DNA sequence: ACGGTTTATGCAACTAGTTGCACAAGGTGA
DNA sequence: TCACCTTGTGCAACTAGTTGCATAAACCGT
């Protein structure tokens, strides 16, 4: 139940239209809370109906016309409430770890290539995060908002660092397992 | 679309009833692929209908009677196919990071306590993983299956290590932000 | 001025996961 | 012996997220 709050946060940072939000989700918030444009439009409709945001006045609010939203006081209050509330961590689900566990039973045939691919993806993501850090968080500036946003970015960097290291080890381990094409039949 | 494969893996490790599976999900596979008993029963039904598993012969298959399942060759084949297939990583969603980002806009009031709580939860999980490592992976034994399972466990350990470290920093950072009860109004 | 691409909004149907409850059998103590 | 608790199985309804497609305006070359 966090998508509405992600949208409220994004809109407080800057009032936007559905498509602008979609783009910003792809670039920054989406790194830890992804959403498609359909989800976003649907949620904008709900938030407006609930009186948490409103469409900025415009000439004709027709289809194909940009429609920007801003957060109302009730929306800010709801976001503050949600941020402060205690929440249990949702269980993670990780397909790759599951596949490795399955490979322990049915064999590792074909797995190594995909591990390498994942390694590359994570390396790319890590590089992107470091780029952002260099650009947006040069040493020195540390207002409150910057501090918190930097903290979030650092979580991303450290997570990707973990994955690249772990995947390198996984690739190496899987590569040196007995025999090519091993597949552990019944 | 991984729950059926998680179940196939678990059943290959050891044929089980629905409830036994539920318990094993809580203890081990569930660390990276959680599932409730309702999900498991539903999926067992589907897997049986699809001919990937079958119920072990028993006396009366009535309600309240244990019913164990084993994997059929078609099930093993499907699991092997899935394990080897290339898959894109699903986007993560992390509420805590989102809340921190929201806090940068609406203020950190009330957040610190929950960060501490999360820190404790991750410390506990980390301790549990280390316990399992000591128990199940003493130095020396390293068959193929052990190697892979140990690799998965190590991912869990490293992930929890990351979280505990990051959360410690987050708690410290949030604690020293300007003023108690800061809340950054419009 | 017309046909194609890009920008922008949105609906509908589907899949996956969660929550809440119902039902049956077997054991246990009063 | 009967009320209650535990174990085990399961349905139904709901919530969240995904996929595929429809629609419309604007911009752009010919």
Say how far A50 CA is from D17 C1', in Å. Answer: 21
Statement to judge: residues A58 and A101 lie in one domain:
no
Say how far B66 CA is from C26 C1', in Å. Answer: 12
Statement to judge: residues A136 and A67 lie in one domain:
no
Asked if B52 and B78 touch (Cβ cutoff 8 Å), the reply is yes
Say how far A39 CA is from C21 C1', in Å. Answer: 30
**Do the chains contact at B106 and A151, CB–CB below 8 Å?**
no
Tokens of A148: 């918190």
Side-chain-side CA neighbours of B12 within 13 Å: the count stands at 28
Domain boundary among A46, A61, A84: A84
Statement to judge: residues A53 and A117 lie in one domain:
no
Statement to judge: residues A78 and A106 lie in one domain:
no
**Do the chains contact at B102 and A5, CB–CB below 8 Å?**
yes
Give, for B20, the enclosing helix (H) or strand (E): helix B18-27
Please name the residue of chain B whose CA is at the shortest distance from the CA of residue A77. Answer: B106
Q: Nucleic chain C: which protein residues 81-120 of A have CB below 7 A from it?
A: 90-91, 93
Q: Using N-to-C axis directions, what is the helix angle for B37-49 and B18-27, rounded to 10°?
A: 130
Statement to judge: residues A140 and A67 lie in one domain:
no
Domain boundary among B84, B117, B138: B84
Residue B131 lies in a domain: yes
pLDDT in tens, B8-47: 999 999 998 888 899 999 888 999 999 999 999 999 999 9
Statement to judge: residues B10 and B60 lie in one domain:
yes
Residue B184 lies in a domain: no
Say which CATH number the domain at A24 has. Answer: 1.10.10.10
Can you give the pLDDT of all 186 residues of chain A as single tens digits? Answer: 899 999 999 999 999 988 899 999 988 899 999 999 999 999 999 999 999 999 886 644 445 567 889 999 999 999 999 999 999 888 889 999 999 999 999 999 889 999 999 999 999 999 999 999 999 998 877 777 788 999 999 999 999 999 999 999 999 999 887 654 444 444
Average pLDDT (B76-91) is 92
Say how far B36 CA is from C18 C1', in Å. Answer: 9
Looking at chain B, the whole-number percentage of residues with pLDDT higher than 90 is 62
Tell me how far apart the alpha carbons of residues A38 and A43 are, in angstroms, rounded to a whole number: 9
Closest residue (Cα, C1') to D16:
A1
Closest CA to A103 of B24, B85, B18: B85
- pLDDT of A186: 43
Three-state DSSP class for residue A7: helix
Q: Residue A130 CA to chain centroid, in angstroms?
A: 16
- pLDDT of A58: 61
pLDDT band with cut points at 50, 70 and 90 for residue B178:
low
Position B186 pLDDT exceeds 60: no
Footprint of strand D on the protein (CB under 7 A): A 1-3, 34-36, 38-39, 62-65; B 17-20, 37-38, 41-42, 44-45, 63-67, 90-91, 93
Residue A186 lies in a domain: no
Statement to judge: residues A79 and A101 lie in one domain:
no
Domain that holds residue B133: 95-175
Phi, psi of B163 (to 5 degrees): -65, -45
Residue B183 lies in a domain: no
Closest CA to A93 of B25, B186, B131: B25
- pLDDT of B143: 75
Statement to judge: residues B168 and B106 lie in one domain:
yes
Statement to judge: residues B101 and B79 lie in one domain:
no
Residue A36 lies in a domain: yes
pLDDT in tens, B108-164: 988 999 999 999 999 999 999 999 999 998 887 677 778 899 999 999 999 999 999
Residue A89 lies in a domain: no
Report if CB A57 to strand C is under 7 Å.
Answer: no
- pLDDT of A64: 54
Of residues A90, A104, A148, nearest to B103 (C-beta): A148
pLDDT in tens, A39-88: 999 999 999 999 999 988 664 444 556 788 999 999 999 999 999 999 98
Statement to judge: residues B149 and B123 lie in one domain:
yes
Domain boundary among B62, B84, B106: B84
Statement to judge: residues A77 and A101 lie in one domain:
no
- Nucleotides of chain D within 7 Å of a protein C-beta? 7-12, 15-21, 23-26
Residue A118 lies in a domain: yes
pLDDT band with cut points at 50, 70 and 90 for residue B182:
very low
pLDDT in tens, B31-42: 999 999 999 999
Position B7 pLDDT exceeds 50: yes
- pLDDT of A115: 95
Q: For chain A, what is the domain count?
A: 2
Residue B120 lies in a domain: yes
- pLDDT of A73: 96
Statement to judge: residues B101 and B76 lie in one domain:
no
């Amino acid at each position: 139940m966090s998508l509405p709050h992600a949208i409220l946060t994004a809109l407080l940072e800057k009032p936007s239209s559905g498509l602008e939000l979609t783009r910003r989700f792809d670039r920054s918030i989406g790194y830890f809370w992804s959403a498609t444009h359909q989800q976003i439009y649907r949620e904008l409709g709900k938030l407006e109906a609930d009186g948490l945001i409103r469409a900025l006045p415009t000439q004709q609010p027709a289809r194909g016309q940009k429609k920007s939203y801003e957060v109302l006081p009730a929306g800010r209050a709801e976001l503050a409430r949600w941020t402060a509330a205690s929440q249990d961590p949702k269980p993670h689900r990780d397909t790759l770890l599951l596949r490795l566990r399955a490979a322990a039973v049915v064999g590792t045939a074909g797995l190594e290539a995909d591990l390498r691919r994942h390694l590359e993806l994570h390396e790319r993501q890590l590089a992107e995060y470091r780029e952002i850090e260099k650009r947006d968080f040069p040493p020195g500036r540390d207002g409150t908002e910057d501090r918190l946003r930097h903290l979030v970015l650092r979580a991303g960097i450290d997570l990707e660092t973990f994955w690249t290291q772990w995947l390198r080890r996984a690739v190496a381990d899987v590569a040196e397992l007995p025999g090519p094409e091993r597949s552990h039949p019944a």
